[in-house]
A = this chain, B = another copy of it.
Amino acid sequence: MNKRPLILVTNDDGITAPGIRKLIDVMKSIGDVVVVAPDSPQSGMGHAITVDSTLTVDQIKADGEQLEYKCSGTPADCVKLGIRQVLKRKPDLCVSGINHGSNASVNVIYSGTMSAAIEAGIEGIPAIGFSLLDYSWDANFDNLVEDIKKITMNVLENGLPEGIVLNVNFPNSQNGFEGIKICRQAKGNWVETFDKRVNPMGKEYYWLSGKFENMDKGEDTDIWALDNNYISVVPTQFDMTAHHFIQQLNNWDL
């Protein structure tokens, strides 16, 4: 690539989150950065888009010279608005994150971070979602910088095939990582416990809570990699067809 790449940065924790501030810093060392990110946290938004209400986009100056826009919508809205309304040309890359918390295994389905990357992928833009397995607001993102650069440069140089984006998760380690592992999404789910409470008016309500359960013993999964202090990289597609089951379905009495 001869000229500096144009990089769209977004996330789901909101434009003021430390994770996206660090990602912006890293991307400024690689290319020209435009930020379009939610004005408030959007965790657990999955691939939601805003169809029944209005959207606003406001230019702000957060911490420097680069253009930043805060958007009232979801991460997927941010990418759509970024591409169609804010940017003058199609970006060379879209990065989302760094998410405060895991998007490994089935979390990819619920993830606003990954929905932004996938939305860019649908538009034919190479895209990466970055997440750190630390939910705290003051998580330390410093030791992720070199690996984020390396993965990003690889994507810019090699490109990504149509229909594929990368889901990158970092283990929560302050002492460096074992390396980078290409993985598949582990089979797992959340076992929810709904915490039932009673409000001051006597009405019952719930808080969604739960525990992730890994049901996958494979050593080629993202959960295995993260448990063993590797950075996991899962190539993620949005053709959700179970191609291998089509032939069998054709034998049904339909």
Give me the interface of A with B, judged by CB distance under 8 Å.
41, 43-52, 54-57, 76-77, 80-81, 84-85, 106, 108-110, 115, 118, 122-123, 150-151, 154, 158, 161, 163-164, 180, 182-185, 187, 189, 192-194, 196-197, 203-208, 233-243, 245-246, 249-250, 252-254
Contact = CB atoms under 8 A, between A and B. Distances in A.
Give this chain's copy count. 2
Q: Which 10 A-B pairs have the closest CB atoms?
A: A46-B47, A44-B51, A46-B46, A235-B242, A237-B242, A184-B241, A235-B245, A46-B48, A180-B254, A48-B48
A130 B35 CA distance: 38
Nearest to A44: B51
Given A55-B194, A56-B204, A110-B47, A184 B84 contact: no
A72 to B, nearest CB: 8
Nearest to A119: B109
A17 to B, nearest CB: 14
A109 B47 contact: yes
Given A123-B189, A253-B154, A51 B208 contact: yes
A109 to B, nearest CB: 5
